[in-house]
């Protein structure tokens, strides 16, 4: 018997497949699988609470991930500073090719730094959560131990429990005293106030910070000049695109003698990148005008943050030194 | 001599009406597709992505023109024939273009470009009657870019376009007939090696022309094309791109009179270069040579085309824009048949547009545009001219 289209399908080789039967078997199975997958693990049930040791391990793992992210960001910052120093030297010597290369490098490093900032934030959040969970577990354990100590009749057992209690309490206090992991990058964080600093020392440090601030200001001014040029190019580009689009919209450039539908060559292609400039030395794909403006903006934002930080820090150092302005 | 308005041998009235309705429905669908694609794309964006979606460079255009036309060429694709050599028209137009960026990351991006417009002519100077042609046009293209680690960028693009023309007039007021197109492209832009960026792409296109009861011959222009192109680009303060391309086009409704190979098939090879300077001054100059060979003698030709686009700032915040395309063409074989089917290929053509634009408000630009087209056909050294002046306003609602 050959099945009709509504009942089943038959292949060219004559093999007959009962479609309805197959569907009636498959559909409930599929539905059940989907429901099971969607439901996820059954809450409560056989799930075991993690032990204190497991939570300690999780905390250490989160701490290690956070420290690794911080170290990676520090390494990037060194490269970023090096690119900025190269830009300063190039600007001082008037070498525009070198300045372009250094700025392209600084933009790349700024983008990487942005990604690492986010990584540091994520790992810091995970570390905070792991610490909180561990603190709560330690607190629970302390309360339970206190009850056990109170109810213990054997003095030897009470002594043993007290020793454990002291150790866990120490761990709890140690963990509670830990500061929240720092997230924000800080410019020139190696310059700090030490107890041995004299007012003169502090003013020298403030001057050093201000000198770095001046460098940041010069770099920001250079970025602003570049962004202005790029924005002018972007305006021109948009004007050209609007002009060409208005001509080509109604096929007016396709005369009776031009192949129908054939586009005249070389339209202003939006996916085409802008001429090189900053990205001249880039091993990556050349960036579009919009991407270059965005990339410069990322670099500018970082430098503005650093500038504010070093100016604030210099001001604080001078206040600590007893006031006075910049020399 | 005054020509007749309609060709002889018309189909019965009922069939004509049905054909007209069918053509109108098809044309409406074609025009509506890009708009629907835009709306659907907006509606179907996953909510997670919605926060990242940006609308960029949205421009509304409104304008009015006065245009003149000279040169009454033979035009087999136009429903009516008129013996006038000169015509003129007042034209109003509305346009919209922009792009929606759904996703823009280093590793991938997804964007939709849309361009649509409506143009209304009030044409006069014809012998039989005055015409009021109306054009609806729409084009949309979806582009997806995936960055391939250590290789480059892979682009996948697909686009739909359509135009619908009502009350299409006879020559010399030439308006491209209505059609629908679907095109696709896969392109690989390799990472720079030794300062050179190589790219390669394959592309395909289908075009279906709207036929009516009086214009079944427009189906002659239906075509299917596929092609490939490779290019190399050098980026300095300017960009130079050289490219070579191959395109194979089939015209399933054009016969060759050869029973063994009955339909026209063209093969075109091209070689070109485009130089672009993009700063506050924009200059683009391109040259392209094309060799078109076919299984039909008539359309075999060699052509050389120049395209130039300039945008330069002038004093008083005025911007000068220039667009010019010049094409010189030589046919390989002599033929006794007329080669020119408007909308198809023929001889030399020149197009020049000059525009002076300046901002009127923060989001509003005003422009005056002068346009001139000249086309030389191989029929008795006849020429086609179109010239006009347009006043345009471009409004960018979200200009920075």
| Sequential DSSP letters for B35-62 | HHHHHHHHHTS-HHHHTT-EEEEEEEEE
Percent of chain A surpassing pLDDT 70 = 75
CB contacts, 8 Å: B226 with chain A:
none
* Chain B: closest CA distance from residue A233 (Å): 5
Chain A interface, best mutation among B145, B279, B314, by max A CB count within 10 A: B279
Q: Which residue is it, tokens 């422009």?
A: B367
Indicate if ipTM > 0.90: no
Predicted local distance difference test score (pLDDT) of residue A327: 61
The arithmetic mean of pLDDT across residues A223-235, rounded, is 88
The arithmetic mean of pLDDT across residues A256-264, rounded, is 44
Predicted local distance difference test score (pLDDT) of residue B137: 95
B40: confidence class by pLDDT, cuts 50, 70, 90 = low
Predicted local distance difference test score (pLDDT) of residue A270: 40
A53-67, A155-169, A242-256: least confident range: A242-256
* Chain A: closest CA distance from residue B9 (Å): 26
Chain A interface, best mutation among B101, B192, B240, B319, by max A CB count within 10 A: B192
Predicted local distance difference test score (pLDDT) of residue A224: 93
Residue A39 clears pLDDT 60, i.e. is over it: no
Predicted local distance difference test score (pLDDT) of residue B12: 56
Contact A253 B351 (CB under 8 A): yes
Chain A: residue nearest B374 by CA? A255
Q: How many CB atoms lie within 10 A of CB A42?
A: 8
Of A245, A284, A285, the CB nearest to B97: A245
Q: Which two tokens stand for residue A279?
A: 């990205």
The arithmetic mean of pLDDT across residues B299-312, rounded, is 89
Predicted local distance difference test score (pLDDT) of residue B32: 60
CB contacts, 8 Å: B74 with chain A:
none
Predicted local distance difference test score (pLDDT) of residue A162: 87
Contacts 24+ apart (CB under 8 A), A239-242: A239/B282, A239/B311, A239/B319, A239/B321, A239/B357, A239/B365, A240/A268, A240/B282, A240/B309, A240/B311, A240/B321, A241/A268, A241/A270, A241/B57, A242/B59, A242/B61, A242/B97, A242/B365, A242/B394
pLDDT tens column, B63-76 = 999 999 988 666 66
Residue A31 clears pLDDT 90, i.e. is over it: no
Asked if A45 is an interface residue toward chain B (Cβ–Cβ < 8 A), one would say no
Q: How many CB atoms lie within 10 A of CB A159?
A: 11
pLDDT tens column, B48-102 = 555 578 888 899 999 999 999 988 666 666 666 777 888 999 999 999 999 999 9
Contact B237 A229 (CB under 8 A): no
Residue B253 clears pLDDT 80, i.e. is over it: yes
Asked if A225 is an interface residue toward chain B (Cβ–Cβ < 8 A), one would say no
Of A236, A257, A289, the CB nearest to B349: A257
Phi and psi at residue B168, to the nearest 5°: -65, 125
Residue B395 clears pLDDT 70, i.e. is over it: yes
pLDDT tens column, A293-314 = 888 998 899 899 999 999 999 9
Q: How many CB pairs under 8 A join A and B?
A: 185
Domain positions in chain A are 51-147, 189-274+282-327
Give SS3 for B238.
strand
* Chain B: closest CA distance from residue A300 (Å): 18
pLDDT tens column, A46-98 = 567 888 888 999 999 999 999 999 899 888 888 888 888 888 888 888 888 88
Chain A: residue nearest B144 by CA? A271
Contact B235 A256 (CB under 8 A): no
The sign one gets for the Cα dihedral A33, A35, A41, A42 is: negative
Contact A271 B197 (CB under 8 A): no
pLDDT tens column, B143-157 = 999 999 889 999 999
Phi and psi at residue B276, to the nearest 5°: -130, 130
B394: confidence class by pLDDT, cuts 50, 70, 90 = very high
Predicted local distance difference test score (pLDDT) of residue A89: 87
Predicted local distance difference test score (pLDDT) of residue B2: 34
Contact A243 B307 (CB under 8 A): no
Asked if A201 is an interface residue toward chain B (Cβ–Cβ < 8 A), one would say no
Nearest CA among B179, B189, B82 for reference residue B126? B82
CB contacts, 8 Å: B346 with chain A:
256-257
Chain A: residue nearest B251 by CA? A260
Percent of chain B surpassing pLDDT 90 = 46
Of A232, A249, A264, the CB nearest to B95: A249
B186-190, B351-355, B380-384: least confident range: B380-384
B267: confidence class by pLDDT, cuts 50, 70, 90 = very high
Contact B235 A286 (CB under 8 A): yes
Chain A interface, best mutation among B142, B148, B325, B362, by max A CB count within 10 A: B325
Residue B276 clears pLDDT 80, i.e. is over it: yes
Predicted local distance difference test score (pLDDT) of residue B136: 95
* Chain A: closest CA distance from residue B136 (Å): 9
Q: Side-chain half-sphere of B306: how many Cα atoms within 13 Å? A: 7
Chain A: residue nearest B171 by CA? A256
Predicted local distance difference test score (pLDDT) of residue A40: 47
Predicted local distance difference test score (pLDDT) of residue A9: 38
What is the dotted CATH code of the domain comprising A51-147? Answer: 1.10.287
Phi and psi at residue A51, to the nearest 5°: -80, 170
- Computed on alpha carbons and rounded to an integer, the radius of gyration of chain B in Å comes to 23
Check residues B140 and A96 and name the one with the higher pLDDT. B140
The arithmetic mean of pLDDT across residues B205-210, rounded, is 90
Chain B: residue nearest A236 by CA? B280
Nearest CA among B5, B336, B346, B353 for reference residue B169? B5
Predicted local distance difference test score (pLDDT) of residue A204: 86
Chain A: residue nearest B266 by CA? A259
CB contacts, 8 Å: B147 with chain A:
285
Specify whether the CB–CB gap between A257 and B258 falls below 8 A.
no
Of A240, A265, A286, the CB nearest to B286: A265
CB contacts, 8 Å: A283 with chain B:
191-192
Contact B236 A252 (CB under 8 A): no
Asked if A269 is an interface residue toward chain B (Cβ–Cβ < 8 A), one would say no
Q: How many CB atoms lie within 10 A of CB A46?
A: 6
The arithmetic mean of pLDDT across residues B353-382, rounded, is 85
CB contacts, 8 Å: A285 with chain B:
147, 152-153, 189, 191-192
Contact B238 A237 (CB under 8 A): no
pLDDT tens column, A102-161 = 888 888 888 888 888 889 889 999 999 999 999 999 999 899 988 888 888 888 888 888
The arithmetic mean of pLDDT across residues B210-215, rounded, is 79
Specify whether the CB–CB gap between B286 and B326 falls below 8 A.
no
* Chain A: closest CA distance from residue B240 (Å): 9
Nearest CA among B340, B320, B331 for reference residue B290? B331
* Chain A: closest CA distance from residue B374 (Å): 8
Mean pLDDT of chain A: 77
pTM above 0.90, yes or no: no
Contact B349 A258 (CB under 8 A): yes
Predicted local distance difference test score (pLDDT) of residue B311: 92
Chain A: residue nearest B58 by CA? A242
A28: confidence class by pLDDT, cuts 50, 70, 90 = low
Residue B9 clears pLDDT 70, i.e. is over it: no
Predicted local distance difference test score (pLDDT) of residue A268: 41
Chain A: residue nearest B327 by CA? A258
* Chain B: closest CA distance from residue A292 (Å): 12
């Amino acid at each position: 018997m050959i099945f009709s289209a509504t009942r089943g399908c038959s292949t060219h080789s004559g093999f007959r497949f009962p479609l309805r039967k197959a569907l009636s078997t498959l559909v409930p199975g599929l539905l059940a699988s989907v429901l099971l997958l969607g439901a996820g693990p059954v809450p409560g049930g056989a799930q075991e609470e993690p032990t204190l040791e497991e939570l300690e391990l999780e905390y250490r793992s989160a701490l290690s991930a956070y420290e690794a992210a911080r170290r990676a960001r520090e390494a990037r910052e060194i490269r970023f500073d090096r690119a900025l120093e190269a830009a300063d030297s190039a600007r001082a010597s008037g070498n525009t090719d070198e300045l372009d290369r250094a700025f392209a490098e600084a933009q790349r490093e700024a983008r990487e730094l942005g990604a690492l900032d986010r990584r540091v934030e994520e790992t810091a959040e995970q570390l905070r959560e792991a610490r909180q969970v561990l603190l709560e577990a330690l607190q629970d354990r302390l309360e339970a131990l206190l009850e056990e100590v109170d109810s213990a009749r054997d003095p030897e057992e009470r002594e043993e429990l007290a020793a454990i209690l002291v150790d866990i309490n120490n761990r709890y206090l140690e963990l509670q005293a830990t500061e929240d992991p720092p997230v924000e990058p800080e410019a020139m964080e190696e310059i700090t106030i030490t107890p041995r600093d004299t007012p003169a020392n502090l003013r020298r440090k403030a001057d050093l910070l201000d000198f770095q601030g001046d460098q940041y200001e010069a770099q920001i001014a250079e970025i602003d000049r570049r962004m202005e040029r790029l924005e002018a190019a972007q305006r021109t580009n948009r004007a050209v695109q609007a002009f060409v689009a208005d001509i080509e919209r109604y096929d007016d450039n396709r005369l009776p003698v031009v192949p129908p539908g054939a586009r005249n060559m070389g339209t202003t292609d939006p996916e085409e990148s802008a001429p090189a400039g900053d990205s001249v030395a880039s091993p990556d794909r050349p960036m579009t005008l919009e991407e270059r403006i965005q990339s410069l903006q990322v670099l500018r934002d970082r430098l503005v943050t650093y500038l504010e930080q070093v100016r604030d820090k210099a001001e604080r150092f001078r206040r600590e030194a007893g006031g006075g302005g910049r020399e | 001599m005054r020509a007749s308005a309609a060709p002889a041998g018309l189909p019965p009235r009922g069939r004509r009406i049905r054909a007209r309705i069918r053509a109108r429905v098809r044309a409406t669908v074609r025009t509506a597709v890009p708009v629907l694609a835009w709306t659907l794309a907006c509606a179907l964006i996953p909510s997670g992505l919605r926060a990242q979606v940006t609308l960029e460079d949205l421009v509304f255009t409104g304008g009015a023109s006065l245009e003149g036309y000279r040169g009454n060429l033979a035009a087999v694709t136009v429903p009516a024939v008129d013996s006038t050599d000169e015509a003129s028209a007042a034209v109003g137009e509305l346009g919209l273009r922009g792009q929606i960026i759904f996703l823009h990351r280093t590793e991938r991006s997804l964007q939709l470009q849309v361009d649509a417009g409506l143009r209304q002519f009030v044409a006069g100077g014809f012998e039989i009657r005055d015409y009021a042609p109306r054009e609806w046009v729409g084009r949309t293209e979806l582009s997806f870019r995936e960055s391939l680690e250590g290789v480059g960028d892979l682009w996948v693009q697909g686009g739909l376009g359509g135009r619908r023309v009502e009350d299409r007039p006879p020559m010399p007021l030439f308006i491209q007939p209505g059609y629908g197109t679907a095109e696709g492209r896969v392109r690989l832009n390799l990472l720079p090696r030794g300062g050179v960026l190589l790219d390669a792409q394959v592309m395909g296109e289908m075009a279906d022309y709207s036929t009516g009861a009086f214009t079944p011959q427009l189906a002659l222009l239906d075509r299917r094309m596929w092609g490939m192109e490779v290019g190399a680009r050098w980026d300095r303060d300017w960009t130079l791109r050289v490219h070579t391309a191959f395109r194979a086009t089939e015209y399933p409704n054009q016969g060759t009179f050869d029973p063994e190979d009955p339909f026209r098939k063209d093969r075109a090879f091209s070689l070109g270069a485009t130089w672009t300077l993009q700063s506050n001054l924009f200059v683009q100059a391109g040259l392209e040579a094309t060799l078109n060979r076919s299984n039909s003698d008539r359309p075999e030709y060699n052509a050389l085309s120049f395209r130039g686009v300039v945008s330069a700032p002038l004093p008083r915040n005025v911007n000068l824009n220039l667009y010019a395309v010049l094409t010189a063409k030589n046919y390989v074989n002599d033929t006794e048949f007329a080669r020119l089917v408007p909308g198809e290929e023929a001889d030399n053509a020149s197009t020049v547009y000059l525009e002076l634009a300046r901002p009127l408000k923060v989001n509003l630009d005003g422009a005056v545009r002068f346009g001139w087209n000249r086309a030389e056909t191989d029929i008795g050294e006849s020429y086609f001219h179109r010239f006009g002046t347009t006043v345009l306003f471009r409004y960018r609602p979200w200009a920075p």
